[in-house]
Amino acid sequence: MTGLPDRLTRPLIDENPITLQILGICSALAVTTTLATALTMSLALTVVISLSATLISMIRNHIPHSVRLIIQITIISALVIVMDGLLRAFAYEMSQRLSVFVGLIVTNCLVMGRAEAFAMRHPPGESFLDALGNGLGYSLILIVVGTLREGLGLGTILGVPLAPMLGLDGFTTLALMQRAPAAFFILGLLIWAIRAWRPAQVERPEYQLSSEEEDA
């Protein structure tokens, strides 16, 4: 049995939705060119996933199996529209920079995944913690990737130049870091590092070559 605090902490590293389940990659690539966009996106997704999981869990016993996806999507998209509206009202600049990606939270497998796999079968409190944990796990990866990409690519953190902070005159920025492939490289390295540290996450091969079986 998993205790309630574990519901919140396990998705941070051990069951991280991005690095273990490889979900939500699209937005992780698109919004991590700067730390500020990564933080805003993290906040938006964490709020949406927590609220949607709680709401869906509250009515889970009355959701007919045949229409459960429609009902989940309706709840999630309503929350996303409200979130998008809030950003446009109070963080207009940021909402312009995030363009469609807040809207695309609707199709983020992470949100649907937690609703379908967890909130449909667990009480609201537990679902809320699980979703919050997953949102924070997603945020953690976005923040790491965003920090590296902005730091190395633009030489700033949250728009503040890094070089003076490090006592340097300046350094050559890596333009590649601002492009999409860099996010893949960083995610790949992160997954490698986490799996080296927690070997339990390494997937067993689905099949082995027959020669190896003979050798064994």
Partner 1 sequence: MAETPVPWWRLFAMANDDPRKAVGMTVLVAFVAALGVSTAATVLKPYQQVHVERERQARLDAMLNTLPGLRGLMVEAGIDTLETRIVDLQSGQYDPAIDPASFDPDEAAKGPATSRDLPPGADPAGLKRIATHAPVYLLERDGRLHLVVLPVSGMGYQSLIRAYLALEPDLNTVAALTIVEQAETPGIGARIAEPDWQALWPGHRITDDDGRIMIRVTQGAAGPYEVDGISGATRTGNGITAMLTFWLGDQGFGPFLDRLRERGF
- List of residues contacting partner 1 (CB under 8 A): 59, 61-67, 70-71, 74-75, 77-78, 81-82, 85-86, 88-90, 92, 99-100
C-alpha distances out from residue 181 to 155, 184, 192, Å: 18, 5, 17
Of 102 and 187, CB closest to partner 1: 102
Of 37 and 139, CB closest to partner 1: 37
Question: End-to-end alpha-carbon separation of the chain, Å?
Answer: 36
Of 10 and 68, CB closest to partner 1: 68
- Give the nearest distance from C-beta 90 to partner 1 in angstroms: 7
Of 93 and 213, CB closest to partner 1: 93
Of 58 and 194, CB closest to partner 1: 58
The candidate with the shortest Cα–Cα distance to 115, out of 22, 27, 50, 25, is: 50
- Give the nearest distance from C-beta 160 to partner 1 in angstroms: 25
- Give the nearest distance from C-beta 81 to partner 1 in angstroms: 5
- Give the nearest distance from C-beta 102 to partner 1 in angstroms: 12
- Give the nearest distance from C-beta 34 to partner 1 in angstroms: 18
DSSP string, 152-206: HHHSEETTEESTTTTT-S-----GGGGSHHHHHHHHHHHHHHHHHH-GGGSPPPS
Asked whether 163 and 171 are in contact (CB, 8 A), the reply is: yes
Calpha distance 28→185 (Å, rounded): 12
